C-alpha cells in the first residue's frame, strides 16, 4: 500500500458494548498497531446487561467503558441509543446501520452470525447483512454517498452447532496483542467482573485487586482464544508456516459470509500489512 493510499478500514458491529472486544479485540489491536482505521459499533446501549443496575445509569456506565477503549486504542466507538434486548431488524434500524457502513467505508466488516442464543445478536446480523449490500446501491438512501465497492463481511467466532457449525476461513495469530485484548475487556468492568460471572453462575468470588482481576480475566475469558489455536492449527500452518504456527498461543477466527464478496488476493495482501506488525 503506497503512502498516499487511504488506511485500511475495519468495521466491527456488535449488538452490545463489549461484543466487538470479545470477538475481534486482537485483530483490532493489530489493525491499530499498523496505523489502520478501526471502528467499533454497538447497536444497543447495553442498559439491560446487569443483575443489579439497569436503565440510564447502566447505559451511561457502559458508554464510559466504550470511551475508555476508544481513547486508549485510538479507534472510533459508536453506541446507538437503543434498548438492550429490544433490537429489531426494522427499516429504521437498517437505515442507521447502512449510514454507519457508508461512513466507515470498510474493507472488512465483522459481525455476529444469524444463529445465536441472543435475539439482539441475531437482529444485529440481519441488519448488517441487509444494510451492507444496500450501502453499495446508489439509489438506496440516495442523499448519502454510496460505497464504491462492497466490503467483505465475516462472522465473529461462536460455538453454536445448528443449523451448521462455525467454519473458520480466517484464523489470525493474536499472541502479540493478547495483553491489548485483555485490557480492552478489563475496561468493561460492569460485564467481565459483574454481569457475566453472575449470568454464568460462576462459583467463587471475583477478585477485587487490579492485578488479581487481570489474572482472573486471562484464565476466565481469554483461554477461549488459546483453545482456538489447537482447533484451527491447520489454518495457522497454512497462513504462517509450520515454524511460526508452532509458537502461536492465542488466535481469533472468522468465517467469511457468502452475502458479501469473497475473500480476495487484494485483501489478503492488505491484511499482510496488519499481521506483520509486532511489538
pLDDT at 278 over 80: no
Domain positions in the chain are 9-174+253-275
β-pairing, 76-79 with 37-42?
Answer: parallel
C-alpha torsion 47→48→50→56, nearest 10: 30
**Residues in CB range of 90: below 8 A, 6 or more apart:** none
Cα angle: 256, vertex 225, 236; to 5 degrees: 60
pLDDT at 255: 98
pLDDT in tens, 147-178: 999 999 999 999 999 999 999 999 999 999 99
Own/partner long-range contacts of 196-203 (Cβ < 8 Å, ≥24 apart): 198/51, 199/51
Q: In this structure, how many other beta carbons lie within 10 angstroms of the beta carbon of residue 204? A: 7
For residue 133, what is its C-alpha cell?
A: 449490500
Check if the beta carbon of residue 86 is closer than 8 Å to that of residue 93. no
* CA separation for the pair 102, 237 (Å, rounded): 35
What's the pLDDT band for 106 if we cut at 50, 70, 90?
Answer: very high
9-174+253-275 carries CATH number 3.40.50.10320: yes
pLDDT in tens, 53-99: 999 999 999 999 999 999 999 999 999 999 999 999 999 999 999 99
pTM: 0.96
Q: In this structure, how many other beta carbons lie within 10 angstroms of the beta carbon of residue 201? A: 6
Q: Is 78 helix (H, G, I), strand (E, B) or coil?
A: strand
Residue labelled with grid coordinates 484451527: 232
pLDDT at 102: 98
pLDDT at 276: 75
Amino acid at each position: 500500500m503506497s503512502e498516499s493510499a487511504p488506511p485500511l478500514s475495519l468495521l466491527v458491529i456488535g449488538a452490545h458494548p463489549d461484543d466487538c472486544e470479545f470477538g475481534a479485540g486482537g485483530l483490532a489491536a493489530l489493525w491499530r498497531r499498523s496505523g489502520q482505521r478501526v471502528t467499533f459499533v454497538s447497536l444497543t446501549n447495553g442498559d439491560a446487561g446487569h443483575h443489579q443496575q439497569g436503565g440510564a445509569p447502566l447505559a451511561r456506565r457502559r458508554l464510559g467503558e466504550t470511551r475508555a477503549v476508544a481513547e486508549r486504542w485510538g479507534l472510533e466507538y459508536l453506541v446507538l441509543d437503543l434498548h438492550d434486548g429490544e433490537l429489531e431488524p426494522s427499516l429504521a434500524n437498517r437505515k442507521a446501520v447502512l449510514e454507519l457502513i457508508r461512513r466507515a467505508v470498510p474493507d472488512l466488516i465483522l459481525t455476529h452470525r444469524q444463529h445465536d442464543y441472543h435475539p439482539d445478536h441475531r437482529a444485529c446480523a440481519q441488519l448488517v447483512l441487509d444494510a451492507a449490500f444496500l450501502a453499495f446501491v446508489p439509489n438506496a438512501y440516495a442523499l448519502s454517498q454510496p460505497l464504491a465497492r462492497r466490503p467483505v463481511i465475516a462472522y465473529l467466532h461462536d460455538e453454536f452447532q445448528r443449523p451448521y457449525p462455525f467454519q473458520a476461513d480466517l484464523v489470525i495469530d493474536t499472541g502479540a496483542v493478547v495483553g491489548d485484548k485483555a485490557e480492552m475487556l478489563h475496561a468493561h468492568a460492569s460485564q467481565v467482573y459483574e454481569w457475566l460471572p453472575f449470568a454464568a453462575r460462576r462459583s467463587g468470588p471475583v477478585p477485587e485487586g487490579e492485578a488479581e482481576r487481570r489474572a482472573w480475566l486471562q484464565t476466565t475469558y481469554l483461554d477461549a482464544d488459546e483453545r482456538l489455536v489447537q482447533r484451527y492449527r491447520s489454518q495457522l500452518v497454512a497462513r504462517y508456516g509450520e515454524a511460526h504456527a508452532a509458537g502461536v498461543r492465542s488466535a481469533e477466527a472468522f468465517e467469511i459470509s457468502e452475502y458479501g464478496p469473497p475473500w480476495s488476493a487484494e485483501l489478503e495482501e492488505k491484511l499482510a500489512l496488519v499481521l506483520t506488525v509486532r511489538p
